[in-house]
Structure 1
Amino acid sequence: MRLADLTTLRIGGEIRNLVEARTADEVIAAVSAADEAGEPLLVLGGGSNLVASDEPFEGTVVLLRDPEDPPLLDATCEVGASGEPDGIPVDPAELTPLDPTCGGAIVEYFAGVNWDRAVRYAIAREMVGIEALSGIPGTVGATPIQNVGAYGQEVASTISRVRTWDREKGAVRTFFAADCGFAYRDSVFKRTRYSGPVPSATGRYVVLSVTFQHTIGSLSAPIRYAQLAAELGVEVGDRVPMSQVREAVLRVRGSKGMVLDAADHDTWSAGSFFTNPILSADEAAALPEQAPRYDAGEGRVKTSAAWLISHSGIERGHAVGERASVSTKHSLALTNRGGASSEDLVALARDVQDRVEDRFGIRLEPEPVRLGVDL
C-alpha cells in the first residue's frame, strides 16, 4: 500500500510495513516494536494533515482505525463511567440529550475515532464546545497535537486530558490541560520531537486517547467568527442551537472545498496549507492598512495567510505545472488536480511562499506534517 492511498492529498510512496490499531494496547505494541527495531515510524490517523514524499517509506506506519465502540462518558447524574449502556445508535438522532441539570459531561475517545463522529455525538447529547469544528477530516488523536480550531473554536477550550505513550520512557503519560502547552495550532505534543536513534515524523508522545469536558445545553457556545455569524444570520456573541451551527459550518466548509468529496479535486488537499502568521507589532504595522489584524496576545498580532496570498498576485486556481494548484475555492488550500507528485506540491508551495515573501516580507509556515519533504 502507498501513503497516497491513506492521505487526503493522495500523494506518498510505498509503505514497507503497515500495522492497523484499534485499541490503545495495539498502538503501544506497534509503536514499541518499531522503536525497538530502530525503524522509522509514522503514526497516521485520517491522513488529512500530511504531505509525504513519493519515495518509499522504509519503516512502520501505524494506522489508527475507528473501533466504532461507544466512548466512555461520565455525566455524573445520568450516565456512569462505564459508558453508554447500549452503545451508540447508528442514527445520532436516537440519542437522548443529557439532563441540563448535570454539572457537565466528561467523555473519552480512543485516538482513532473519526473526529466528525465525535462532533456528531457531542451535538446529539447536547454537549457544548466543539460544534463549530464540524466537518474537519481526521481522527480525535490528531486534534490536541495541532490544537485544531476553526470558526472561533479550538479543542484547547474543551480538552481536559490527553493520554499518551512516551516513546523515550516506554510508559503511559497523561497530560492534563494545563500541561498541554496549547497555543495557536501548537502544543507540547507537536513541539516535543522524538530523540531516538532514527529520525521520526511522529513525536515523542503518541496520543492514545483524548478526554473532553463539556457544559450541557441545547445552545452553542457564543459565536465568535464573523463569517459564521453572518451565515447564521446572527450577531457575534449570540448563541443558537448546536445543530444549526453544524449545518452552517458544513455549508461554509463545502463552499471552500473543505468537505471531502472524491469527485471534487478541490478537496484533494491537506486543508489549510499555511498557518496565519503571528507578527510583532512592528511587523504588523508594516502591512497595508487594509490587511486583517487580530490580537494574538503579548503584544503580538495575527494576520490572515489567505489575505496575504490573494494580495500577492496569486489567484484561486493558480498552478505551477498541470497537476497541482491552489484550490479554485479557497486561497489557503493547495490541491492535487490528479496524478500530482510530492515534487509538484512542493514546487507550488514554494512558489506561494516566495511570492508572499517578495510582496510582504513574511515567509508563510506550512501547517501539515511533512514526511521526507523539505519546505
Structure 2
Amino acid sequence: MTTFIKRGRGGLVALAAGLVLAACGQQESSEQQASAQGEAPPTPKPVMEMARQDLPLEKSYPAKLRSDDEVTLVARVTGFLEERHFEPGEMVEQGDSLYSIEPDLYEAAVAQREADLESARAELARAQRDATRFQQLLSQNSVSRQQVDQAQAELNVARASVSQAEAALASARIDLGYADVTAPVSGMIGLSEVNLGNLVQPGTSLATITPLDPLEVRFQLPQEDAFALRQQLRDQPIDAVDAWLNLPGEGGERLAGHLDFLGSRVDEATSTVQANATFANPDARVLPGQFVRVQLEGMKRFEVLAVPELALTQGLMGPQVYVLDEDDKARARTVQLGEIAGPWQILTSGVEPGERVVVGDPAGLQPGTTIAPQPFEGVEQIVEKNAEQGAEQGASAQGAKPEAEGDAGA
C-alpha cells in the first residue's frame, strides 16, 4: 500500500513537468509567429536608376492663321466700271480678268499715241535727210556752217520727239492694261466693293483675293522651347521640322506643314520668340483669321532627369517620389516638377543621377517599406500592367457584390 502511493506521486510530478514544457513550447512558437508577422515580406516594385536623357515634347501653341499673299484689288485708272467677270466667293487664277474699266477711252488714247509716234518718226526721217544734205553742201562751200548746225539741231529735236512719243505710247498702253483688272494671285475672291456703273479712281478698292493654299501661321514660342528648337536645328535645316495644325472638332484631324522661320531675338515684354510655319490647305479646311493650335514635331528637352508620371505622389511638402536606400527601403523625397513629356515627368530638382527610384504605382507605399526591386520594363509596360490590375480588381469587386447581396437576402 505504501509503495503504490509513492508511485502515484512520481507520476504526478512527471505529468506536471510535461505540462510546463508544453506550455513553454507553445509560448515560444507563438512568439516566433508574432515576430514573423511583424516583419512584412519585401514589396515587389519596378525600380529605375536615374540617368539623364533626351525626351521628346508634345506641345502645342495658340496661333492665328494668315495668308501673306492676300491682295486687295484697287483701281489704277479713272473711269466707269463696265463689267465684272467673276462671282463673289469663287476661286480665281492668277491672270484671270476680273473687271473692265471703260476700256474704249484708253484704247482711243493708245491709237492717238501711236499716230503721234508715226508723225514723230516721219519728222525724224526728214530731219535726217536735211542734215545729211547740208553736210554735203558744206563740203562744196554751198551753205554756211550755221545752216549745217541748224539742220543738226533739228535732227536732235526730231530724235527727242520720237523718244517722247514712244514714252507716251507706252504710258497709254499701261493705262489700257490697267483698264482690264486681272488677278495678281490665285485664291478665293470676296465680295465686290463697287457696283457696276460707278465711277472709280486710282486707289478705289474693288475686291480682295485670299490665297487659301498654302496658309501661314505665326506664333510665339516660350524662350525655353525656342532654345531647345535652335539646338535641334544644328543638325537639320529649318524646313525639316514638321509642324501639325490641329483642326477644330472631335475628329482629331490635322494638317501637315513645316517650320519656315525661327526668330533670333527674345521679346522682352513676353519672353517669347516668334516663329512661322506653312501648311498645305488644298480643300480649304481652315481659313485665314481662324484661331488654331500648332504642334511642332521633334522638339526635345536635352539631358534631363525624368520619371514616369505615375511614380509621383503628393506629400506634405509637395510632389514626391520614393527613393531606395542601401537597404532597399523606400524613402520619400520631395521633388520639383518641370514639364511633362508624354508619359514622363521631368524633374528639375530632388533627385540625382544614379539614385534608384520606385517607378511603379506608389499606392500603399510608406516610408521605410522594404522593396524587392524589379527591372524597369518601360513606361508602356507599367501602364498596361496597372490597367490589367485595375481591371482584375474591378472584376473581383463586381463578383463579390452579388454574393454580398445574396447573403443579405438570406
Q: Which has the higher strand share?
A: 2
Higher relative contact order (CA 8 A, sep 6+): 2
* TM-score after normalising by structure 2: 0.19
Please say which structure displays the higher CA radius of gyration: 2
* TM-score after normalising by structure 1: 0.20
